[in-house]
């Protein structure tokens, strides 16, 4: 985490399509002289975590820091919405650099698909029959057979999304780990997932793919009828996220883990 901030004088505002978020974007654009995205020093995203994910994908590798303010239904990655002193907040914000996962999936026809994932790579059964998967880490088989509805490979940024709903662990931003979380595991019933170094290559083979078809998704990009998926962190690609020093992300992470 880098607490220093360059000059962020030119602000481009983006929002979701809710009346609340659009009205906030219009007011802030007038107040702070909003500029086009091509001329911006920083992007301010107004919405929830869904909008933040879209914005992170749109501006990946563009070198623009992204600062979110909560104007949506879910805002775990968003700062508190306030219209006052935005320039000062941006100047004081802490920088967190995140890297996406790269998903490489091969379908039953032998076609290879490649896509980035900021939140997670997920595999899901396509029919009423459970999926059968084999999980390898860095070329070594760690789980010969997992019978389940699916499995999630989550980054720290995505650990509070689908991964959390599947009872996976929350990973603080900046943690050098990835979470592997099963969805409704049947065998082995007690396997609750694993944490692996973010440098690891995760390979998942689909067993009995003809009988038990499986889809794979990198965030919103989906491939159906896959036979194998690999995922690993792409350190050559990055996004710069901004958080208020008093954002309280660590406190929110702790609070989420003690909810019952």
Annotated binding site: 49-50, 119-120, 149, 157, 160-165
Residue list, annotated binding site for NAD(+): 49-50, 119-120, 149, 157, 160-165
Cα Rg of the chain (Å, integer): 20
Query: Can you tell me the distance from the alpha carbon of 120 to that of 65, in angstroms, rounded to the nearest whole number?
Result: 21
Query: Can you tell me the distance from the alpha carbon of 135 to that of 174, in angstroms, rounded to the nearest whole number?
Result: 25
Catalytic residue among 36, 39, 41, 49: 49
What ranges in 173-232 are assigned the alpha helix state H? none
Which of 170, 165, 199, 198 lies closest to 182, judged by CA? 165
The distance of Cα 256 from the centroid of its chain, to the nearest Å, equals 17
- Backbone torsions φ then ψ of 68, nearest 5 degrees: -100, 140
User: Residue 188, preceding bond cis, omega within 30 degrees?
Assistant: yes
Query: Can you tell me the distance from the alpha carbon of 243 to that of 65, in angstroms, rounded to the nearest whole number?
Result: 10
Largest separation between any pair of C-alpha atoms in the chain: 59
DSSP state string for 63-116: ---EEEEE-SS--TT-BPP--TTHHHHHHHPEEEEE--EEEEEEETTS-EEEEE
Is 203 annotated in the active site? no
Torsion, Cα 64 94 2 196, to 10 degrees, reads: -90
Q: Which active-site residues does the annotation give?
A: 49
């Amino acid at each position: 985490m880098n607490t220093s901030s360059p000059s962020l004088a030119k602000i481009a505002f983006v929002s979701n399509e809710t009346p609340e978020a659009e009205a906030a974007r219009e007011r802030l654009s007038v107040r702070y002289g909003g500029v086009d995205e091509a001329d911006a020093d920083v992007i301010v995203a107004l919405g929830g975590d869904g909008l933040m994910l879209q914005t992170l994908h749109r501006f990946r590798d563009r070198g623009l820091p992204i600062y979110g303010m909560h104007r949506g239904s879910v805002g775990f990655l968003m700062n508190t919405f306030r219209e006052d002193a935005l320039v000062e907040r941006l100047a004081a914000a802490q920088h967190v650099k995140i890297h996406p996962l790269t998903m490489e999936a091969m379908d039953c026809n032998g076609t290879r698909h490649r896509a980035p994932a900021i939140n997670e790579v997920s595999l899901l059964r396509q029919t009423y029959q459970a999926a059968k998967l084999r999980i390898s880490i860095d070329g070594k088989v760690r789980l010969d057979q997992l019978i389940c509805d699916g499995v999630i490979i989550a980054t720290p940024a995505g650990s509070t999304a689908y991964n959390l709903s599947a009872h996976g662990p929350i990973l603080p931003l900046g943690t050098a780990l990835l979470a592997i979380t099963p969805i409704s595991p049947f065998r082995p019933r007690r396997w609750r997932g694993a944490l692996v170094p973010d440098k690891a290559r995760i390979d998942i083979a689909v067993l009995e793919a003809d009988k038990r078809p499986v889809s794979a998704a990198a965030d919103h990009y989906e491939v159906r009828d896959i036979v194998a998926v690999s995922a690993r962190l792409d350190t050559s690609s990055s996004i710069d996220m901004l958080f208020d020093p008093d954002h309280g992300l660590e406190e929110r992470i702790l609070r989420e883990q003690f909810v019952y």
